[in-house]
Structure 1
Amino acid sequence: MNNGSSTGNLKRHLKSHSDKFDPSMAKQAEFMKNFLQEGNPQMTFTNKNFRDKLALWVVADDQPFTVVESDEFHDLIKLCNPMALIPSADTVRNDVLDTFKNYQTTMQNLLQNSPGKISFALDGWTSPNVISFLGITCHYIDADWDLKDILVDFVDLSGPHSGENLANVFTKCLQDKKILTKILAITTDNAANNDTFFKEFEKVCNENHIDFHHKRNHVRCVAHIMNLAVQEILKHIKAGEAQDEDSILENLSSGTISTSKVIPRVRSK
């Protein structure tokens, strides 16, 4: 047995605390419970911790708030811990909103106190049910020289996807979090409205005496550039005319064509 393993550590711990052994099963269970909780107070169950974890699970697994009203869910939780108080769907909703507000406060403090400038990345799209969103992420180096990536906002866009509208939404996001002055650069794709966005945002920065240039501080997304390049290449090449499988097998069996000629070849227009 490896003395450095978890089992070895447990064995040494039990030997050094032999006075705690008791033949009673209840005492042994209590001893093991205390041992497992040593140095890990988070393992202690409280209904507050349960509600916090429940809210995180609902968000992470995209569960409906009403999942807590299921009889099977109640049975599962009571099996795990009969002392658990299962909140209502409305309470779960409020807990999720409170968690979001706490996250926003923590994130804002982190960004405001970051030692240097912050880069941002923006991307907008429309969902299948025709709702427009703008995702905003930020990237910076913290005091320990670690690269940090944070989701700053996920905005429900109203109005057109014009550069002016995007600039207004992005500016409001940074002003609300009091980090407008910390901007370094912005990464976007090559959509035409982004050119207008950068020019409009440059005006905002000039009004606030912030050094920002619509070209110098614009980082174009490399993945999008590669995608555009590949699409342009594909416009100028095409595959040979396809044959159905019966024709291919017939030609092969008769020896009319060789195997190498069966494979369609890509050729220039």
Structure 2
Amino acid sequence: MSSAVSKLNLDLDQIVQWCKANNLVLNSSKSKLMLFGPDKLSVRICLKQMLLLLPVRPTQRLPASQPVLVEDLAQNIPTVQAPRPTPAQQSMNEFVHSMRPLGPRRAEKIDEQLIKMVAKGHHPFSLVEEQEFKTFVSMLCPGYSLPTRKTLSESLLPKMYKREMDKAKAKVEAGQAICLTTDGWMSDNNESFIAVTAHYIGADTKLESTMLGCVEYAERHTAANLAQFLKDITREWNFENKITAVASDNAANITAAIKAADWAPNTVLRSHIKFLRSKCTGRNGRETTARVKQIVEYFKRSSQALAKLKEIQKQLDVPLLKLKQDDSLELHL
């Protein structure tokens, strides 16, 4: 009983809010009754109540044996057409539905999408505090309450990061053999970074790639420090005994670091790479490489030739590819 009373009070409160939003006032002295229910049932009950309130004319007589039909008596009721609501006026059903708070699951999904938008679009956390963005979200979903900037950065984002990190670790741990690629570079602000990526065959027999980390590295780039860094990151992801190959540039420090890590080599792959290297570094290989460099340099120097190349690629309906100079990689096994 108490729950029914609470729901009824909530409905009455929403009706009052709808009336205020549409500049309407409820006059209790003129209100005879209030009906809740389907439209057809409400109309029939309303007709019966109106018949009881109508004055009986002296000349009107009905046979006692003849049943009184509500439809017959309703013909004597003067019809009053209610004024049509203006386009700006919101119906009560729409108003109550729009003011209804979202369920927890629906609100959680919107929170997740908001986090993805902020992270992938590199938007600031202060976006949720901008008034125009609040108005935009309110127009799309009035029942959704935007999280605060603090909730976004200290609660929602760490939860999603942990969930996605657990998924990535599970995928990498499922790989039977893993190849690493790593590289280091200096930013425009003179900050040193190192990135490590794992490549493996996934559960659906497709090649998968997962970035293990792209971190600012302030230590000296010695072979011992780099070897320890690679060991720490593979130990964190729990696959240090599954590494079969490591690809990097031919810098002396990273080459020595990979050898110092003492990962198990793959002799078959090593021999195949040596065979390809001997073919590419032979006389014919050096001539082919020199010709390719000349072609790339020609298109790099001439903007008209580059524009003609792009035009031909469009005519042939092939992807627009960019020419690159020789970027040698050395595979350490």
TM-score, normalization by structure 1: 0.59
Give the superposition deviation at 1:172: 0.5
**Structure 1 partner of 2:166:** 105
Give CA-to-partner distance per residue, 1:220-252, whole Å, 9 cap, x none: 9x9xx99xx77xx68xx99xxxxxxxxxxxxxx
Give the superposition deviation at 1:213: 7.7
Pairwise mapping of residues 114-133 of structure 1 onto structure 2 (< 5 A)?
114=175, 116-133=176-193
Alignment coverage as a number of residue pairs? 188
Judge conservation of contact 2:174–2:203 (CA < 8 Å) in 1: no
SS in 2 for 1:137: strand
Give the superposition deviation at 1:200: 1.8
**Structure 2 partner of 1:135:** 195
Give the superposition deviation at 1:79: 1.3
Flag as ranges the 4+ runs of structure 1 deviating above 6 A.
none
**Structure 1 partner of 2:112:** 52
Q: Normalized per residue, which structure has more strand?
A: 1
Give the superposition deviation at 1:162: 2.4
SS in 2 for 1:181: coil
**Structure 1 partner of 2:25:** none
Distance in 2 of aligned mates of 1:91 and 1:123: 35
SS in 1 for 2:241: helix
Give the superposition deviation at 1:51: 1.1
**Structure 2 partner of 1:161:** 221
Give the superposition deviation at 1:188: 0.8
SS in 2 for 1:83: coil
**Structure 1 partner of 2:126:** 66
Q: Which runs of 5+ in 2 are unaligned?
A: 1-90, 95-103, 299-333
Q: Which of 161, 183, 190 pairs up with 2:250?
A: 190
SS in 2 for 1:179: coil
Q: Tell me whether 140-149 or 51-60 shows the greater mean CA deviation.
A: 140-149
Q: CA RMSD in A?
A: 3.9
Is 1:212 the counterpart of 2:260? The answer is: no
Judge conservation of contact 1:56–1:96 (CA < 8 Å) in 2: no
Judge conservation of contact 2:178–2:198 (CA < 8 Å) in 1: yes
Distance in 1 of aligned mates of 2:266 and 2:208: 24
Is 1:89 the counterpart of 2:149? The answer is: yes
TM-score, normalization by structure 2: 0.48
**AA at the equivalent of 1:101:** K
Judge conservation of contact 1:121–1:188 (CA < 8 Å) in 2: yes
Distance in 2 of aligned mates of 1:162 and 1:63: 37
Which protein is bigger by CA-based radius of gyration? 2
Of all paired residues, the percent bearing the same amino acid is: 23
**AA at the equivalent of 1:99:** M
In structure 2, the CA distance between the partners of 1:198 and 1:216, relative to structure 1 (3 Å rule), is farther
Give the superposition deviation at 1:126: 2.1
Judge conservation of contact 2:179–2:200 (CA < 8 Å) in 1: yes
Distance in 1 of aligned mates of 2:139 and 2:187: 39
Give the superposition deviation at 1:45: 7.3
Give the superposition deviation at 1:88: 1.3
Give CA-to-partner distance per residue, 1:163-191, whole Å, 9 cap, x none: 22221111101101111011111111222
In structure 2, the CA distance between the partners of 1:45 and 1:79, relative to structure 1 (3 Å rule), is farther
**Structure 1 partner of 2:208:** 148
Q: Which of 261, 267, 270 pairs up with 1:201?
A: 261
